[in-house]
């Protein structure tokens, strides 16, 4: 089945919208959140649990899978879906952000990126063409162009130079694309400069992609500035194609960005916070190690329908966490992922019913 996006409905009071992405491995109702499965697994949960929790699509990381176990091995073993036993859609990021985060271990040139492996220090050189080839070997449903993530702060001149590189790489990625059953998304960079964001959109539209992402945000800039850039850039993207905000975010960031017309999100926040004992609920954030929960017989969240909340008390979850039990990570992750999936379900329902403004107030009040 070919990749396509269907715009179903728009909120009458904002840019928020309902949509549906169709891929060879199933459909995704949008707005949607993608749990991060960096190395071909969403940490601490089984693929079967992801389905139960309402997960529609997961993100895997090109950089990590290229280094270990290697994209050719994954291809030899039947592709990423078979390798990780996940039959739903998969998006692979290009590895650009991971290379950006390496900083001292990498060198960027117009040809590509030379970097040292964080695993064994070995040297590697990735070009835009190789980034596409790796993702095609992995067999994800959606691949991302190799880009240079613009840091914050970056003055106009530095951001413009970075944008020229990203646009050139995007064109090379598009020319390198071979798989017809895999979508390729372009990434809009430009830092916090609206003129550059607008220029990036124009350049990517001339090249032509299956979807478009906003990158280089949530990298240290004030939240209000991120909101401003998203609100400016998202409506510039084609209405008939999916819009993806990379690496975001918190419930607050999601509700604000959906309002600006974003369809897709990913972030390590729910799973990473779960492993460190920070749990999301509809009324508060719970730091489960706190002594106040030692004798608390209540479920983590009375309004949550996840396995954790239906079967265990806060007191038991605290006991597991302070004891260093692996089950703590599992139960915490189950809850946090379900919280995020339920949040997206509430968002889609509110857009459908025309009550998005009311839901936004609720979410902002509780975060």
Burial (CB count within 10 angstroms: exposed 0-12, middle 13-18, buried 19+), residue 155: exposed
Torsion of CA 313, 316, 322, 324, to 10 degrees: -120
Distance, in Å, from the CA atom of 367 to the CA atom of 135, rounded to the nearest integer, reads 36
CB 13: neighbour CB atoms within 10 A?
A: 12
Secondary structure of residue 291 in the 3-state scheme = helix
**Region of residue 112 (left: phi > 0; alpha: psi -120 to 50; beta: else):** left
Instruction: Find, among 285, 259, 284, the residue nearest to 360 by Cα.
Output: 259
Q: Is 147 in the active site? A: no
Instruction: List, in order of start, the domains of the chain with CATH numbers.
Output: 4-267 (3.20.20.105), 268-367 (no CATH)
By C-alpha distance, which of 152, 333, 348, 346 is closest to 247? 152
pLDDT at 251: 97
63-82 b/e (C-beta count within 10 Å ≥ 16 → b): bbbbbeeebeebbeeeebbe
Q: Which of 11, 93, 141, 253 is catalytic?
A: 93
pLDDT at 298: 98
Q: Give CA–CA dist 172/264, Å, rounded.
A: 24
Q: How much is the pLDDT for 49?
A: 98
Q: Is the CB of residue 223 less than 8 Å from the CB of residue 195?
A: no
Helix or strand or coil: residue 173? helix
Q: What is the pLDDT along the chain (367 residues), one digit of tens a residue?
A: 689 999 999 999 999 999 999 999 999 999 999 999 999 999 999 999 999 999 999 999 999 999 999 999 999 999 999 999 999 999 999 887 777 777 777 889 999 999 888 899 999 999 999 999 999 999 999 999 999 999 999 999 999 999 999 999 999 999 999 999 999 999 999 999 999 999 999 999 999 999 999 999 999 999 999 999 999 999 999 999 999 999 999 999 999 999 999 999 999 999 999 999 999 999 999 999 999 999 999 999 999 999 999 999 999 999 999 999 999 999 999 999 999 999 999 999 999 999 999 999 999 998 8
Q: Give the C-alpha separation, 35 to 37, whole Å.
A: 6
| Active-site residue, selected from the candidate residues 11, 141, 266, 301 | 266
Contact residues for 229 (Cβ-Cβ < 8 A; gap 6+): 192, 194, 197, 214, 217, 221
Q: How far apart are CA 88 and CA 58, in angstroms?
A: 8
Q: What is the DSSP string of 84-128?
A: HT--S-EEEE-SHHHHHHHGGGEEEETTEEEEE-TTT--EEEE-H
**Among candidates 312, 311, 310, 307, which has minimal Cα distance to 288?**
312
Contact (Cβ atoms closer than 8 angstroms) between residue 19 and residue 48: no
User: Rounded to whole angstroms, how far apart are CA atoms 144 and 136?
Assistant: 11
Q: Which residues contact 103 (CB under 8 A, 6 or more apart)?
A: none
Could you confirm whether 266 is annotated as catalytic? yes
Using the CB atoms, write b or e for 182-191: b if 16+ within 10 Å.
Answer: bbbbbbbbbb
- For residue 212, give the H/E element and its range: strand 211-214
pTM above 0.95, yes or no: yes
What are the residues whose beta carbons fall under 8 Å from the beta carbon of 268, sequence distance 6 or more? Answer: 36, 38
Angle, alpha carbons 220-225-227 (nearest 5°):
110
């Amino acid at each position: 089945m070919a990749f396509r996006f269907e715009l179903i409905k728009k909120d009458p009071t904002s840019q928020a919208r309902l949509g549906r992405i169709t891929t060879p491995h199933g459909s995704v109702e949008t707005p949607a959140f993608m749990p991060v499965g960096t190395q071909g697994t969403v940490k601490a949960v089984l693929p079967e649990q992801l389905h139960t929790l309402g997960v529609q699509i997961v993100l895997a990381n090109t950089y990590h899978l290229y280094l270990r176990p290697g994209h050719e091995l994954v291809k030899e073993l039947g592709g990423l879906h078979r390798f990780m036993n996940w039959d739903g859609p998969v998006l692979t990021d290009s590895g650009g952000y991971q290379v950006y985060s390496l900083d001292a271990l990498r060198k960027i040139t117009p040809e590509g990126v030379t970097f040292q492996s964080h695993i064994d220090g070995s040297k590697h050189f990735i070009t835009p063409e190789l980034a596409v080839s790796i993702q095609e070997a992995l067999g994800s449903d959606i691949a991302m162009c190799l880009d240079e993530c613009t840091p914050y702060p970056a003055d106009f001149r530095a951001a413009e130079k970075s944008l020229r590189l990203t646009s050139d790489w995007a064109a090379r990625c598009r020319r390198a694309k071979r798989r017809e059953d895999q979508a390729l998304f372009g990434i809009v960079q430009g830092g916090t400069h609206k003129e550059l964001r607008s220029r990036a959109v124009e350049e990517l539209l001339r090249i032509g992609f299956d979807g478009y992402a906003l990158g280089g945000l949530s990298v240290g800039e004030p939240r209000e500035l991120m909101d401003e850039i998203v609100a400016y850039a998202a409506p510039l993207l084609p209405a008939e194609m999916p819009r993806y905000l990379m690496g975001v975010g918190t419930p607050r960031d999601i509700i604000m960005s959906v309002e600006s017309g974003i369809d897709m999100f990913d972030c390590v926040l729910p799973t990473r916070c779960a492993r460190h004992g920070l749990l999301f609920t509809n009324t508060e954030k719970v730091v489960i190690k706190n002594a106040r929960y030692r004798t608390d017989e209540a479920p983590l969240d009375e309004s949550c329908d996840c396995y954790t909340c239906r079967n265990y008390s806060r007191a038991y979850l605290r006991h597991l966490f302070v004891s260093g039990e692996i089950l703590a990570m599992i139960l915490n992750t189950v809850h946090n992922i379900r919280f995020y999936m339920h949040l997206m379900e509430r968002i889609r329902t509110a857009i459908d019913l025309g009550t998005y403004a009311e839901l936004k107030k609720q979410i902002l009040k509780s975060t």
